[in-house]
């Protein structure tokens, strides 16, 4: 069942989204050459605590990090560790926070001194795919209208959309109904209504769409080890353009 939020719920969602966005942007600025992904995770934890919130990821199904940090061919769910960021890397920073009982979830991909035009195009295309999906997230549209818009941008640019991992509803729980694939035919699935809150998150690979999970049980890699980009916003559906709660 898709939960429709009331006015009180929406204020809680705005608060958690605001914190998640502030943490995302601050951590993104720290993602430079020589910095370890563990240092980014520790910094994120300090920021989240400073806002009076808690990580929605730490301990979730046993996940050991405050945030997810995924580098280059890592698609999502990277565990912060000893890896040092290098010039030319792309770094996905995925932040989830819980504040006042509500969850905000957001991600960005940072280019660290990237000069490869294909990698730059991958990252920019993934962000455009998210924007296209958000543009369709309005009352009266079907859920797959969002999915199709994301896929059209990514595949139209010559890239592949990851199919095993998807966006999701969000609210008092990090993962609520519905699941939101980043692919599909338009005009399918439930009709969107004002008050629904969704976490849209295209994961786009430079090569094939296939992925595999590392031995750590979490980190998802592009099977062909080509770069992957990831962007995410938590949005609220309304009669007009979606409200981006993690702007």
- Predicted local confidence at residue 199, as pLDDT: 98
Q: What is the pLDDT of residue 197?
A: 98
At residue 24, the pLDDT reads 99
Region 81-95: mean pLDDT is: 98
Give all domains of the chain, ordered by start, each with its CATH number.
7-244 (3.90.230.10)
User: Residue 137's pLDDT band (boundaries 50, 70, 90)?
Assistant: very high
Cross-sheet strand order for the sheet of 74-76: 74-76, 220-222, 211-213
End-to-end CA distance of the chain: 26
CB count within 10 Å of CB 86 equals 14
* Residue pair 80/40 in contact by the 8 Å Cβ criterion: yes
Backbone angles phi, psi at 167, to 5 degrees: -75, 180
pTM of full prediction above 0.95: yes
Facing residues of 200 across strands?
233
pLDDT computed for residue 98 by the predictor: 98
Render pLDDT for 64-81 as a digit per residue (tens, 0 to 9).
Answer: 999 999 999 999 999 999
pLDDT of residue 208: 98
Tens digit of each residue's pLDDT (9 = 90 or more) over 4-47:
999 999 999 999 999 999 999 999 999 999 999 999 999 999 99
- As a whole number of angstroms, the distance between CA 182 and CA 178 comes to 13
Q: What digits encode the pLDDT tens for the residues 177-188?
A: 999 999 999 999
Element (H, E) at 154: helix 143-156
Element (DSSP H or E) covering residue 17: helix 7-30
Residue 127 is predicted with a pLDDT of: 98
Q: State pLDDT tens for residues 194-225.
A: 999 999 999 999 999 999 999 999 999 999 99
From CA 179, how far away is CA 177, in angstroms rounded? Answer: 6
- Round the average pLDDT of the chain to a whole number and report it: 98
Chain segment 145-170, per-residue pLDDT in tens:
999 999 999 999 999 999 999 999 99
Going through 146-210 in order, the beta strands assigned E by DSSP cover 160-161, 167-169, 176-180, 197-200, 203-205
Q: What is the mean pLDDT of residues 119-124?
A: 98
CA distance 168 to 191: 15
Q: What is the 3-state secondary structure (H, E, C) of 85-150?
A: CCCCCEEEEEEEEEECCEEEEEEEEEECCCCCHHHHHHHHHHHHHHHHHHHCCCCCCEHHHHHHHH
């Amino acid at each position: 069942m898709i939960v429709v939020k009331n006015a009180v719920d929406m204020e809680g969602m705005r608060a958690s989204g605001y914190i998640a966005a502030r943490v995302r942007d601050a951590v993104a600025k720290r993602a430079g050459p020589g910095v370890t992904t563990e240092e980014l995770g520790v910094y994120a934890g300090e920021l989240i605590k400073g806002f009076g919130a808690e990580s929605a990821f730490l301990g979730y199904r046993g996940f050991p990090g405050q945030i997810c940090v995924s580098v280059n061919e890592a698609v999502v769910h990277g565990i912060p560790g000893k890896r040092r960021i290098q010039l030319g890397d792309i770094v996905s920073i995925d932040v989830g926070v819980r504040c006042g009982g509500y969850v905000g979830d957001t991600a960005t991909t940072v280019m660290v001194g990237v000069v490869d035009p294909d990698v730059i195009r991958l990252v920019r295309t993934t962000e455009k795919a998210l924007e296209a999906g958000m543009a369709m997230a309005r009352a009266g549209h079907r859920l797959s209208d969002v999915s199709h818009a994301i896929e059209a941008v990514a595949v139209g640019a010559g890239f592949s959309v990851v199919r095993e991992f998807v966006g999701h509803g969000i609210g008092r729980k990090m993962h609520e109904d519905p699941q939101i694939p980043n692919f599909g035919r338009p005009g399918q699935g439930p009709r969107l209504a004002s008050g629904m809150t969704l976490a849209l998150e295209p994961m786009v690979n430079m090569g094939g769409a296939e992925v595999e999970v590392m031995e750590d049980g979490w980190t998802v890699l592009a099977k062909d080890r080509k770069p992957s980009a990831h962007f995410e916003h938590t949005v609220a559906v309304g009669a007009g353009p979606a409200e981006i709660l993690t702007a």
